[in-house]
Structure 1
Amino acid sequence: MNSETNLFVIDLEYRVSIEVVEPHLDAHIAFLEHCYATGVFLASGRKVPRTGGVILARGQSKSEIETLVAGDPFHQHELAHYTITEFVPSMTAPSLQL
């Protein structure tokens, strides 16, 4: 594990109804795909019940992740509130390559 890589839990909570969110879903998915392609995002998905989503990311700093999240269409259109929690992994599953 790279000692300079921290993990981040990005918690999205919708500020608007799902009917307002859905027209922006394709752009949000394109944003997610870009972040997976760059290796920053490790997992993501909808909350149950569908009140937002959760993203597991890796990066060098919280400010890096905050800058990245600012490019999410959900953020740009003020559709969701974001909480970013940084943690230093002390143990991971072998399948999680950092």
Structure 2
Amino acid sequence: MYVVLVNYTAPLEEIDYVLPDHVAWLTRQYEQHHFLASGRRNPRVGGVIVARPMARGKLDAILATDPFALQHLARYEVIEFSATRTAPELHRLNEALTH
């Protein structure tokens, strides 16, 4: 699984202009079961995405279709990790990762 740190490289005015397209892109990723969680960073310098386990190349291809990436408004730092423990609320996720 992955944690993706999205770092804005453009002023917030430009980010806000593209934000509806980015939100629609996020919705598609959830519908395709690629992402588990996402949200803004505080302070508002970017966002965070938690992505399901997949081949790294597939994740890179998905991120390349983000409107923020297409318009060169953000860069992405991808951190891969293996969840070996989870809170009880995430037990189902942890079971899926170990099988």
Q: TM-score, normalised by structure 1?
A: 0.88
Select 2:60's aligned residue among 60, 63, 66. 66
Select 1:11's aligned residue among 5, 15, 39. 5
Select 2:78's aligned residue among 63, 84, 92. 84
Gaps of 5+ in 1: 1-6
Percent identical residues: 38
Letter of the aligned partner of 2:21 in structure 1? A
Select 1:55's aligned residue among 49, 63, 66. 49
Kept after mapping to 2: 8 A contact 1:14/1:80: yes
CA distance in 1, matches of 2:60, 2:82: 17
1:25 aligns with 2:52: no
User: What SS does the aligned partner of 1:33 have?
Assistant: helix
Letter of the aligned partner of 2:20 in structure 1? D
Task: Tell me which protein shows more helix as a share of its residues.
Answer: 2
CA distance in 2, matches of 1:14, 1:25: 12
Letter of the aligned partner of 2:40 in structure 1? R
Gaps of 5+ in 2: none
Letter of the aligned partner of 2:72 in structure 1? E
CA distance in 2, matches of 1:44, 1:26: 15
Moved over 6 A (4+): none
Give the aligned CA root-mean-square deviation in angstroms. Answer: 1.0
